[in-house]
Amino acid sequence: MELVLLLVLGALLIVAVAAVSPKIGISPPLLLVVVGIGVSFIPGVPQFDLNPEIVLVGILPPLLFAAAYNTSFVDFRANRGAILSLSVGLVIFTAAAVGIVAAWAIEGLPLAAGFALGALVAPPDAVAATAVARRVGMPKQIVSVLEGESLVNDATALTALRAAIIAIGGTVTVIEVGTDFLIAALGGIAVGLAVALVFIPIRKRIRNPSFDTVVSFTIPYVAYLPAEEIGASGVLAVVVTGLVIGHKAPLLTSGTQRLTAEGNWRTVGFLLENAVFLLIGLQLRRLVQNVAADDIPAVTILVACGSVFLVAVIARFVWVYLGAAFLRAARRPDRLSLSMRTVIAWAGMRGVVTLAAALALPFDFPSRDLVIVVAVVIVVGSILIQGLSLPWLVKVLRLQAPDPGQLALQEAAMLDDARVAGLARLEEMTAESAYSPEVINRLRARTELRSNDAWERVGRASSGGETPLAEYQRLRLDMLVAEREKVLAARSNGTADDEIVRRVIRVLDAEEAMLDRPNDLPSERQSDLVVADENGRTCEHLQYFSEVAEPTPQTLGQCDACIEEGTTWVSLRMCLTCGNVACCDSSSGRHAERHHHQSDHPAIRSAELGEAWRWCYIDRILG
């Protein structure tokens, strides 16, 4: 009963902290560590002895799988050089630097034990890096590098830790360490690929969303346990499996399956990752008491913690900047600017792997309690000091998060390409057989409505009011409230069977889920939406119209065709050949598109304030 009560209170505390953290501007992981430390000193709160096996085997695999599953395989591959440098080279460099300093700072600590401590604190945490980086609003490339590094570096650190522990009781050669690392890495990759190849056809044949979700929860353990059993890296096996299956997911499962699994994984991941940070804070009191019982001077503890933290931070800066110097010396292009490298160097928050590996140290490990305290202090200090200061550093360096206008514009262009492909397939299917015109018109209208929704959100900053689709969504959501109330009233007065009521409610909920799209453009950015394509695509028409002046209040104009027909427009577009101003495809007249068909003029630009994008009708390319 007491265990159940503690679990319930812990879950409620996690939810409460996560709800409060956005209001005070602190990310949940940081605040949960502080709360955990505070709760651990409340009289009557039991001491928590966290079993490292629970973290390493029970919690770590699903967290790593979820992080890898949601990591872009394309971005990972594009930044593989930086990721491998940080996740392999930096981990070994940090372990060596910390090991030397730790052996000096802690009296009687063997050098091999110091290297073990260095391996503990070397890898930044996947959960901490992702949670803080996304909340801070870093550029996409920095987030991709940090995510990729934190997924792979755990395998390097745990392998180095094993070698250091073996060296304490005997000798180990560089060749043995290198061989062990290769076996762990290659074995982990092989197991991960094998598990992915096994589960890809299995998930492809599952059609029940509940079955698919249950199967997905087993995948990280199926990858982790066999890899560890054969001496390979279970961490790397889980990461490889998650990357491959996540990349293939849109081809394996239906939309309903993915939405169901995503919702369940989001809930489980939320509880697990936040529980880990809460437990980190709760561990500190017991660990400090154990060290105090060993009569270790406070000065020794402070010197050990401070020196290890400083060396770990400095080693990361040295390695990151040396990487830039090496690229310059080799006259190779550096994908990362100096500002980006500075943020990457500072964003080295430690977390769950460091804590779990420290608690899993053998009981005869030299100065075990002190080493664990140092590791926990490094975790807490890095999350609090580096995590809290990251927003300030990003702001000082003037690094911009992905422009919401740019993202909205890319989304609109991609949805428009998808619309064209869908309509082409519709033409193929209806060419040979007779279909109801009403059905075909409904399909066309639905496809165009989705595409228009994206374009309306691109131009809504300058429209000054609700777009037609936004108005439709608001009104329809209000209608659904009334419809649901009517159905529930029928259930209350006993005039409808409860099972039928549940079915109808599910139908209404499904439609509401389609309409209730979250607003993904921060309000403070809507007023100055500036968009431009940076993906390098172009065509001869857009090259010809390469110089596009930004619209001004004097050049906005109006849609004369709409005025003549007595209709209104949503947004305006200007022909780059003749300067004709006409309404967009979201408007009822669609006069810009009609002008193209009548004149064969290929390209238009936005005629809205703050927008300078262009569009080629012929090649269907955004510029």
The residue-averaged pLDDT of 558-584 equals 86
**Does residue 94 register a pLDDT over 90?**
yes
pLDDT band with cut points at 50, 70 and 90 for residue 195: very high
Q: Could you tell me the residue ranges of all domains in the chain? A: 2-396, 404-526, 540-622
State phi, psi for 73 to the nearest 5 degrees.
-65, -35
Q: Which pLDDT score is estimated for 91?
A: 92
How does pLDDT run across 396-455, given as a tens digit for each residue?
887 776 666 666 777 777 777 788 888 888 888 877 777 788 888 888 877 877 777 777
Per-residue model confidence (pLDDT) at position 360? 78
- What CATH architecture is 2-396? Up-down Bundle (1.20)
- pLDDT at position 97 over 90: yes
CA separation, residue 335 to residues 133, 152, 328, 505 (Å) = 19, 20, 12, 51
CA dist 211 → 197, 284, 316 (Å): 19, 40, 44
Structure letter (DSSP) for residue 90? I
Domain 540-622 annotated CATH 3.40.50.150: no
The fraction of the chain above a pLDDT of 70, given in percent, is: 85
Three-class SS of 230-278: CCCCHHHHHHHHHHHHHHHHHHHCCHHHHHHHHHHHHHHHHHHHHHHHH
Instruction: Determine the pLDDT at residue 227.
Output: 93
Q: Which residues have C-beta within 8 Å of that of residue 464, sequence separation ≥ 6?
A: none
Whole-number pLDDT of residue 463? 45
- Cα separation values, 236 from 158, 183, 220, 367, 396, Å: 11, 12, 11, 30, 36
Q: To the nearest whole number, what is the mean pLDDT of the chain?
A: 80
Q: Are the C-beta atoms of residues 280 and 359 closer than 8 Å to each other?
A: no
Crossing angle of the two packed helices 368-381 and 298-329, in degrees rounded to 10 = 60
Pair 525, 401: CB distance under 8 Å? no
Nearest Cα residue to 368 out of 428, 291, 258, 306 = 291
pLDDT tens digits for range 446-487: 787 777 777 766 655 444 456 666 777 788 888 888 998 888
- What is the pLDDT at residue 621? 74
Query: What's the whole-number mean pLDDT along residues 536-563?
Result: 71
pLDDT mean over 128-154 = 75
pLDDT for the residue 440: 84
Q: Using CA atoms, how far apart are residues 104 and 287, in angstroms rounded to an integer? A: 22
Residue 152 pLDDT more than 90? no
Residues in the chain: 623
pLDDT at 270: 85
Choice between 187 and 172, residue whose per-residue pLDDT is larger? 187
Identify the band that residue 98 occupies on the pLDDT scale cut at 50, 70 and 90. very high
Pairing, β 603-606 against β 581-583 = unpaired
**Range with lowest mean pLDDT among 113-117, 389-393, 525-529:** 525-529
Contact 212, 261 (CB under 8 A): yes
- Under DSSP, the state recorded for 109 is -
- Per-residue pLDDT tens over the stretch 276-301: 778 877 877 777 777 777 777 888 88
Q: What is the pTM of this model?
A: 0.73
Residue with the bigger pLDDT between 534 and 368: it is 368
Sheet-wide strand order for 581-583: 581-583, 572-575, 603-606, 614-616, 621-622
Six-digit token pair at 583?
């309404």
pLDDT of residue 308: 93
Mean pLDDT of 92-121: 91
* Cβ atoms 213, 165 nearer than 8 A: no
Kindly give, in sequence order, each residue whose CB lies less than 8 Å from that of residue 603, ignoring residues fewer than 6 positions away. Answer: 541, 542, 544, 545, 575, 576, 577, 614, 615, 616, 617
Residue 414 has a pLDDT of 77
What's the pLDDT at 531? Answer: 39
For range 265-277, the mean pLDDT: 83
For residue 350, the model assigns a pLDDT of: 85
Render pLDDT for 64-73 as a digit per residue (tens, 0 to 9): 888 888 888 8
